[in-house]
């Protein structure tokens, strides 16, 4: 079907563009020297303005990078969901099915963009506190390990199973398919809320281990895509939980050895 080939072709271009923008941002950040902190870790300069920069510019740069990263990471698992949504609209006799699908996609990534802004504000505030409070800075490696351990444990919870099931459901399951542009946008927003809840642990892992780390980004992308489309998604999620939890324990042990 030509429309299907066109749809996936556009999605592929968006993924490639998001990945290229993310790699370029990571390469740019790699030229910036971090600030050594008490506790043996380095504070990234991504959370604060450099000479001549304003907070608004730094925040906009991060949110733009975050959005590009989310397109590259989330669209591979989102694209089949959006296509099934478009087919459901068509089979239900809806007109402008592709336009509604586009609006749903825009709503989806609007939520992830908002999460990027929240991550920046929180991380920038913590970075400022770390610079002013050496005792807090020394505890960061240990706290990071605890966060990663909790992220791994979250993979085993009913919360995770519920939202993973929501993300794996066919479009229209339990909901009336939209018949207006506003309803299509709300559908995308709801899908993104379910997805962000499902990905809460993996997102926390990414932020803590290095939001500009390409290896971490690739690993998280593979993990969330696999748990969405594997025939036994919950079992895969628990397997990922063991790996993430193990990483958290390693981080805690390493941090404790340096105290």
Q: Output the CA–CA distances (angstroms, integers) from residue 81 to 14, 34, 95, 124, 160, in the order listed.
A: 16, 40, 19, 34, 19
Distance CA 124, CA 108 (A): 25
The confidence band for 178, taking pLDDT boundaries of 50, 70 and 90, is low
In tens, the pLDDT along 191-236 reads: 999 999 999 999 999 999 877 788 888 899 899 889 988 888 889 9
Confidence at residue 71, expressed as pLDDT on a 0 to 100 scale: 94
**Alpha carbon 10 to chain centroid distance?**
21
R_g of the chain computed on alpha carbons: 20
In tens, the pLDDT along 32-56 reads: 677 788 878 888 888 888 777 788 8
Least confident residue range of 79-93, 135-149, 222-236, 239-253: 79-93
- Average pLDDT of span 53-67: 89
**Cβ(160)–Cβ(245) below 8 Å:** no
pTM confidence score: 0.87
In tens, the pLDDT along 93-135 reads: 666 788 888 999 999 999 999 999 999 999 999 988 988 888 8
């Amino acid at each position: 079907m030509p429309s299907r080939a066109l749809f996936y072709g556009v999605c592929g271009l968006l993924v490639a563009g998001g990945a290229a923008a993310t790699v370029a941002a990571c390469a740019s950040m790699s030229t910036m020297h971090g600030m050594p902190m008490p506790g043996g870790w380095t504070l990234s300069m991504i959370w604060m303005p450099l000479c001549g920069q304003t907070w608004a510019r730094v925040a906009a740069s991060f949110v733009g990078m975050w959005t590009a990263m989310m397109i590259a990471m989330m669209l591979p698992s989102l694209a089949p969901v959006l296509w099934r949504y478009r087919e459901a609209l068509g089979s239900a006799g809806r007109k402008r099915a592709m336009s509604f699908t586009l609006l749903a996609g825009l709503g989806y990534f609007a939520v992830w963009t908002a999460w990027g802004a929240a991550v920046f504000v929180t991380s920038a505030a913590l970075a400022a506190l770390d610079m002013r409070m050496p005792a807090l800075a020394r505890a960061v490696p240990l706290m990071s390990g605890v966060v990663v351990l909790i992220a791994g444990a979250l993979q085993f919870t009913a919360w995770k199973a519920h939202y993973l099931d929501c993300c794996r459901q066919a479009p229209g399951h339990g909901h009336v398919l939209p018949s207006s542009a506003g309803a299509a946008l709300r559908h995308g927003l709801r899908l993104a809320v379910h997805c962000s809840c499902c990905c809460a642990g993996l997102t926390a892992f990414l932020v803590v281990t290095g939001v500009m780390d390409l290896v971490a980004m690739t690993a998280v992308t593979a993990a969330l895509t696999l748990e969405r489309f594997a025939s036994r998604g919950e079992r895969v999620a628990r397997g990922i939980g063991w790996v993430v939890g193990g990483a958290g324990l390693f981080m805690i042990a390493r941090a404790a050895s340096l105290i």
